[in-house]
């Protein structure tokens, strides 16, 4: 695509994973109105999605993230390396070693992000887990439902690896459960043909 302002917006959102309009305007040294002018076309092209976030009183904040199509505009060279590395581990030490590796990574992520969810009520914890997953590339949204809530991954940054190693999906499910402090069930699953992955956590009466 043309390397103009819209490309600079995509680059900045790619670097930050998620960015508000004001933040983008400061980074690119343009007015917020300029960002607002370009966002509709980027959304129509399927490159960016926007979401309103409300923090206390005042107007909601418009946050931008790249879609999977938008992410594809940028090099993703680590994917082939990760896949080759996992295949080598499986060949040398067996599939059990791969499963153990994913468990170890999941434990590390839980330890890293647990302080961000501790001490929060259920709704705030849910939103923080959605923020964490979005930072990891899953573009997660949180939505209350009857007796609980849905946590939806609108993007999967590791889909190609997960197709070969579904243990990666089990790792994410365990990470969500650990950070929420609740058992979580997967109700929609990309590897079974769903357009997204959705997780359900229920509140105890």
How many other C-beta atoms are found inside a 10 Å radius of the C-beta of residue 105? 14
Tell which residue, 71, 84, 93, has the closest CA to residue 18: 71
List, for residues 79-128, the tens digit of each pLDDT value.
777 888 888 988 988 888 888 999 999 999 999 999 999 999 888 999 99
Residue 31's pLDDT is what? 93
CATH 3.40.190.10 fits 78-202, yes or no: no
Residue 1's pLDDT is what? 45
Q: How much is the pTM?
A: 0.63
Q: Where are the domains of the chain?
A: 5-71, 78-202
List, for residues 142-183, the tens digit of each pLDDT value.
988 877 889 999 888 888 889 989 999 999 999 999 999 888
Please tell me the CATH code under which domain 5-71 is placed. 1.10.10.10
Residue 113 DSSP symbol: H
List, for residues 17-61, the tens digit of each pLDDT value.
788 999 999 999 999 999 999 999 999 988 998 988 777 677 788
Length of the chain: 205
Residue 203's pLDDT is what? 66
């Amino acid at each position: 695509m043309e390397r103009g302002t819209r490309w600079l917006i995509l680059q900045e959102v790619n670097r930050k994973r998620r960015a508000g309009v004001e933040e983008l305007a400061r980074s690119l040294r343009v007015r917020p109105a300029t960002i607002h002018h370009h966002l509709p076309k980027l959304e129509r092209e399927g490159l960016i999605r926007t979401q309103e976030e409300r923090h206390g009183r005042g107007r909601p904040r418009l946050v931008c993230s790249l879609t999977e199509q938008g992410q594809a505009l940028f090099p993703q060279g680590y994917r082939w390396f990760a896949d080759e590395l996992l295949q080598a581990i499986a060949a040398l030490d067996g599939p059990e070693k791969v499963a153990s590796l994913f468990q170890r990574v999941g434990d590390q992520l839980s330890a890293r992000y647990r302080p961000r969810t501790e001490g929060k009520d259920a709704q705030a914890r849910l939103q923080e887990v959605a923020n964490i997953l979005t930072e990891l590339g899953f573009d997660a949204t949180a939505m209350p439902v009857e007796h609980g809530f849905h946590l939806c991954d609108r993007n999967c940054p590791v889909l190609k690896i997960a197709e070969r190693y579904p243990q990666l999906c089990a790792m994410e499910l365990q990470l969500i459960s650990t950070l929420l402090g609740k058992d979580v069930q997967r109700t929609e699953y990309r590897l079974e043909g769903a357009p997204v992955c959705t997780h359900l956590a229920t509140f105890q009466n």
